[in-house]
Structure 1
């Protein structure tokens, strides 16, 4: 009414404010409706005064927060209109408000996705070239370790490899932004690597990890390396927010994602992993920006860590959310889709294969390998390594040469047993085009595809394109040998 007393409150208003009709009727609007401007956190007092004076419809600020009786927050849009009698006198006011929290969340996530896509176009090219260079360096260090008999030299080479692993992790982060780059999804047990990752991220700190992992947590469909990167980044972020030390709590549980509108229609169930810190918290005005690339509140920060986490989660048809309170801490919640029965079956089949006895002696049964790559350093190091392991190796630095060598060997009835093709060859046929021609002659030869980056599905789904498996650059030479041994009989 014109005194600001509530005379009618509908069901939805009761749900949002958490005040029943009995509690609300007759009360002053300021006692029931707690409204705040989101940016300034300033309370909006008696919003109907302006309408009573102007006798015209009005709207509250664009970003208005409604706080319920139990302190739940809703982003609302609202309008206030005067109620006029037959003589055009104001006899009351109707205030209509709508919960737009989830709608705004979807808009914000779409904007974030657009920003990350733009960054991906730039980062993917850098990562591809960098990975090619790293692959050559990796290979030569591996060869040096094989040749060296000096333990001091070997120790230095091993330390070099560790540094290379850090460089590889950096390109993995860049590739998380890559347009079209897809995770290699497999059924995984989160607990199998969760604790090790957290403990590693907290090494040397005064922070104690506390694990509260549900015993019945289901397997998830994910790229293990990418999810490991998310957990690592989230724990590092929490560690940096806790300069005085304390506890970081890690929880896992089976969950139905609470936002039904956003979830992937194919995924009904998720596993939720939470990283809960006791840090300084994130100010309300900054929390909507923390997943933006290059946004950072740290003097020495680069603003990529959380943006990478967000992107990887979305690539997995999952979600990453944050809740925070100043001086109390933050909670990051990662939702990952539960693996389907077929995916879990493949997991156990792969595990059985891995446990089978491998054949390591090849001296008496030489196998032929053809390597296609435009990086000469990779051709030299990989061929030398495999030759030392008893293989006969031929190399090609372009697609035409690879096809010619394959055809000549096939026509002589001395076919290759293994092919290792680089996916992208600048200015010519790459692995995808070459394998199409190879399969017309030989459908049984074992073929692997390698790449520093792929903007299509070949690396994540090599079988669909004529390859048996894929290996991501930079790789260690032992990784090639392990892959080949899997197919030796």
Structure 2
């Protein structure tokens, strides 16, 4: 049995080293891509100031495509860089209130209504505010993309049973049981325009805060994503 345990421990160590190497390679490649992108954007911005009306329209399209590449590269770095993060006491409600206007702007463009329901007097939590903002944006974007115009998106917090719960609820098409097993896998997406990293990154952020994500969904009715944080153990 001892030999089996040693082989199992060795296999686990090899696997961890493998994924550490993959993570470092992904971060290195992403940085190598992002550096020339920054230079290209700089020259394009200079050209934009000199451009004619027609050229300006073409530049807008180029900037949009560059932005999509930047978002993908940043997402890969965030997913691969699964190290310890710097946290400090934060008010979760304040973080959500700060990012909510950005969520609302995206929703309005799609004809979707938004609602904010924040619990009173939440205890302070040890959080990395930037990562929590990114997680809220990812979950909100996921809900917005699942809905048609006139749908409603709700973001809220609850303190219940020794946990602080952040939830994002949509009135979208819902998620089938089969899809629910795959939605947190990197690069899994049912939408051609989506890289499929938002939910994978959100789960990674939740886990770095000792939290977890639960999903409840009904096909044709909508979904709710709940991020559960243990109070005092972040």
**TM-score if structure 1 supplies the norm length?**
0.36
With over 3 angstroms needed to count, the CA separation of the structure-2 counterparts of 1:299 and 1:165, relative to structure 1, is: closer
CA distance in 1, matches of 2:174, 2:22: 28
8 Å CA contact 2:24–2:80 kept in 1: the answer is yes
With over 3 angstroms needed to count, the CA separation of the structure-2 counterparts of 1:116 and 1:313, relative to structure 1, is: farther
Aligned residues: 204
Counterpart check, 1:204 vs 2:112: no
Trace 1:61-460 onto structure 2 (pairs within 5 A).
120-133=23-36, 152=49, 168-192=70-94, 193-256=98-161, 270-336=163-229, 338=231
After the TM superposition, which of the residue ranges 182-191 and 246-255 deviates more from structure 2? 182-191
CA distance in 1, matches of 2:232, 2:67: 29
CA distance in 2, matches of 1:226, 1:116: 22
The alpha-carbon deviation at position 247 of structure 1 amounts to 1.0
Q: 2:13 is matched with which residue?
A: none
Unaligned runs of 5+ in 2: 1-15, 51-55
For CA contacts below 8 A with separation 6 or more, give which structure has more relative contact order: 2
The alpha-carbon deviation at position 255 of structure 1 amounts to 3.6
Q: Where is the helix percentage greater, Structure 1 or Structure 2?
A: 2
Q: Secondary structure of 1:206's match?
A: coil
CA distance in 1, matches of 2:81, 2:49: 43
Q: Secondary structure of 1:333's match?
A: strand
8 Å CA contact 1:220–1:337 kept in 2: the answer is no
The alpha-carbon deviation at position 172 of structure 1 amounts to 2.7
Unaligned runs of 5+ in 1: 1-113, 146-150, 257-268, 344-489
Trace 1:31-70 onto structure 2 (pairs within 5 A).
none
String of CA shifts for 1:191-236, please: whole Å, max 9, x gaps: 3324224213314111111111112123332222222121111111
CA distance in 2, matches of 1:254, 1:297: 33
